[in-house]
Chain A
Amino acid sequence: MVIALMTWFVTIIFGLLLGTYLCFRLEKHGVKRWGATGKLFHYNPKGEE
């Protein structure tokens, strides 16, 4: 049971880490149209370019 639950939790953590890494890459590109705002988890609600 522990193995099954651990497998599941690892996928959740992996997802959050991968998302964070891609947000970081996005900020590094700095393209506003893609969503870069200067802050890692911040997004522009108006979606301006």
Chain B
Amino acid sequence: MVYLVVLGFYIAFVIWASLKSLKQAESMSDFTTGGHRMGLMLGIGTTTATWVSVASVMGVPGYLYSNGVSAIIGWVAGWFLATALFPIVAYKIRRPKTPARTFPEYIHLRFEPFRRISHLRTIVGAVMFIGYFLFVHLQVVGFGIVFSTITNIQYEYAIFAFLIFLLFTSIGGFWSVAATDTLNTTLIVIGVILGGASVLAATGGLGNIIDTMSSTTSPTNIGGDAIPEGSMISPVGTFGLGALFAIFMSNAVGSIVSPHWVTRMLAPKNIKVAILQIMGSLLVLTAIFIPLIIMGLGAKTLMPSLPADRTTDYIIPLIVQEYSPPLFGALTLVALCAAAVSSANSMLLHCATSIYYDVYLNIFSEKKITEKKFNMNLRIGMFVIAVIAVVSAITPPWFLAMGFTYVYGGFGAVFFAVVILGLYWKRMNRAAAYVSMLVGLFAYIAAQFASATNPFLIALGASLVGVFMVVFFTPKPPVEAYEPYFKADVSQSTQETFYHIQKNETDQSVVSDEEKLARKDA
């Protein structure tokens, strides 16, 4: 009963916060990046909430439970390294006076500034759509596990409740996502600290947890194979050095250039706020991960093996229900829901924006729609995608944390060169951008199918080789393409090029309501 009451309060608050923030989303830029005016505190809240997903709060403790401390290196340290490196993206991408509003728009501005229809932008939008659809799908799976645990509704039906959260937290666009994210961050911090304290108390302290990890051979699932003694305390665990390094690199390098993180760096008021936002988030995330690590490792002491029909993603909901006082348990499980909601709404926004704004409106740029209509179409798109993601989650194919690693690896292979080289190397040009993305994408898919140990590094290597083979044999990029990322004051022609892409050409399909009335009068 306590669980349901706490969940009820959470739902009510999310709906209230979402409806309140609806008023703030007026323009298209507001809807996608918050109008580039986000402050520090809201920035820390929304960055942390987006960062902490079901992969963090359920997937990672699941791997800690089954593989021990090696999961700290593979996932926790990998993602923290990526976070540590986000400021190098913010330092450059937020420099232009009128920054890009979406990640594909940055690609258009940087590599095809004189093209009305950017095919590169279309490819990026399509890759993003697939990646973010998979991310939303994974959040639905995580939410379904927690929601079914709280309500005792069967998982297959529980996942449909996620639609309510997704719709309310996404309808106002970026501001709606940011407002509910700050609440979600607070809940996540409180929930995991209470959960961690409960597990610590139930196990009898850190000494007992370490003793169990050193000596246990209990299989992960009842009836499964025994794990090697000492493997849970080993830094490489049962993964092996090669596989663990591959996971670490995918999570670290792949995350830096993931479009949703690049977009996050565009939202703050200026570069300083973007950098401070990441530094603040690092500290909040540390406070979240200490209890999560205690919960994941401590679970092995409390529940040596999981029931045969449960994956490791279920470990936190199971031990919290069993070993926490009802109010603590309820707050911890609501924190897990908050983690799923806060990541899914942001990723749903990216998924819909990429397919509608960057693919559809880029191809059919002659279409004329008002900003109001644009926002409405985006909301409809989000609803349709959310429904498909929920239906696809009825039979989940992957473990949560590993699913994230696959997608981050793909993003890293495809986008590393266009983001990092694009921002820091003037010579990076259009041809190299095409080659790096296409070679990276196909090499990653091929390496995955060939079951290579490190598909991400193979694909990244192939992509970079492609760049260096092409870039010196093709024309230098025009100054208008790179100038805003290297100079504070840009030339008149660069200003005009930015203006044409953002206001007159590609974006001429999205006109303000006042503009439309003026045209009608004329």
Stretch at the interface among B74-82, B166-174, B302-310, B388-396: B74-82
Report if B70 contacts A (CB, 8 A). Answer: yes
Number of A-B contacts (CB under 8 A): 106
Cβ-defined contact, B273 with A4, below 8 A: no
Question: Is residue B269 within 8 Å, beta carbon to beta carbon, of the partner chain?
Answer: yes
Chain A residues within an 8 Å CB radius of B282: 12, 15-16
* A35 adjacent to B270 (CB under 8 Å): yes
Give the residues in chain B near A33, CB-CB below 8 Å: 97, 270, 488
Task: Verify if B323 is at the interface (C-beta below 8 Å from A).
Answer: no
Q: Which residues of A in the span 2-49 have a Cβ within 8 Å of any Cβ on B?
A: 3-5, 7-8, 10-12, 14-16, 18-20, 22-23, 25-26, 29, 31, 33-37, 41, 43-45, 47
B345 CB within 8 Å of chain A: no
Smallest beta-carbon distance B280→chain A, Å? 9
Q: Contacts A11-B80, A11-B84, A15-B279 given: A34-B72 contact, CB under 8 Å?
A: no
Contact A11 B40 (CB under 8 A): no
| CA–CA, A47 and B95, complex, Å | 14
Residues A18 and B87 in contact in the complex (CB < 8 Å), given A1-B210, A4-B72, A43-B270: yes
What separation, in Å, do the CA atoms of A47 and B270 have in the docked complex?
Answer: 7
Cβ-defined contact, B70 with A4, below 8 A? yes
Cα separation A47 to B245 with both chains bound (whole Å) = 41
B84 and A12 form a contact (CB under 8 A):
yes
Whether B279 contacts A19 by the Cβ 8 Å rule is yes
Q: Is the interface of B mostly helix, strand, loop or mixed?
A: helix
Cβ contacts B92-119/A at 8 Å (1 or 0 each): 0011010000000000000000000000
Bound: A20/B282 CA distance, A: 13
CB <8 Å contact, A22 and B84 = no
Partner of A23, one of B40, B213, B276: B276
User: What B residues does A34 contact at CB under 8 A?
Assistant: 94-95, 270-272, 488
B383 within 8 A of A: no
Size band of the B side of the interface?
35 or more
**Which residue of the partner chain, among A3, A5, A8, A35, contacts B271 with CB atoms under 8 Å?**
A35
> Chain B 53-85 against A: per-residue CB contact (8 Å), 1 yes, 0 no?
000000000000000011011001100110111
Most chain B beta-carbon contacts within 10 A, residue among A12, A15, A34, A41: A15
Residues in chain A near residue B97, CB distance under 8 A:
33
- Assess whether B475 is interfacial by the CB under 8 Å rule: no
B91 and A22 contacting across the interface, CB-CB below 8 Å: yes
Main secondary structure of the interface of A (DSSP, over half): helix
Most chain B CB within 10 A, of A1, A23, A34, is at A1
Q: How far is the CA of A31 from the CA of B95 in the complex (A)?
A: 10
Does B286 contact A12, Cβ atoms closer than 8 Å? yes
Tell whether, in the assembled complex, residue A4 and residue B235 are in contact, meaning their CB atoms are under 8 Å apart.
Answer: yes
Verify B273–A43 contact, CB threshold 8 A: yes
Contact across chains for A7 and B77 when beta carbons are under 8 A apart: yes
**Chain B residues whose CB sits within 8 angstroms of the CB of A15 once the complex forms:** 80-81, 83-85, 87, 278-279, 282
Chain A residues with Cβ below 8 Å from B233 are: 1
Assess whether B88 is interfacial by the CB under 8 Å rule.
yes
Residues of B within 8 A of A37 (CB): 272
- Could you mark each residue 241-261 of chain B with 1 if its beta carbon is under 8 Å from any beta carbon of chain A, else 0? 000000000000000000000
Q: Is the CB of A19 within 8 A of B488?
A: no
A1 to B213, CA, bound (A): 10
A29 with B84: CB separation less than 8 A: no
Q: B residues within 8 A CB of A25?
A: 91
- Which of B37, B40, B269, B289 has the most C-beta atoms of chain A within 10 angstroms of its own C-beta? B269
Q: Which of A18, A20, A31, A35 contacts B85 (CB 8 A)?
A: A18
A41 x B276 contact (CB < 8 A): yes
Chain B residues with Cβ below 8 Å from A10 are 77
- B141 contacts the other chain (CB 8 A): no
Residues of B within 8 A of A41 (CB): 276
What are 8 A-B contacts with C-beta separation under 8 Å? A14-B81, A15-B84, A15-B87, A35-B272, A36-B272, A41-B276, A43-B40, A44-B269
Those 4 A-B pairs whose CB atoms lie nearest each other, nearest first: A35-B272, A15-B84, A47-B269, A35-B270
| Partner-A contacts on B (CB < 8 A) | 37, 39-40, 69-70, 72-73, 76-77, 80-81, 83-85, 87-88, 91, 94-95, 97, 210, 213, 233, 235, 269-273, 275-276, 278-279, 282, 286, 289, 488
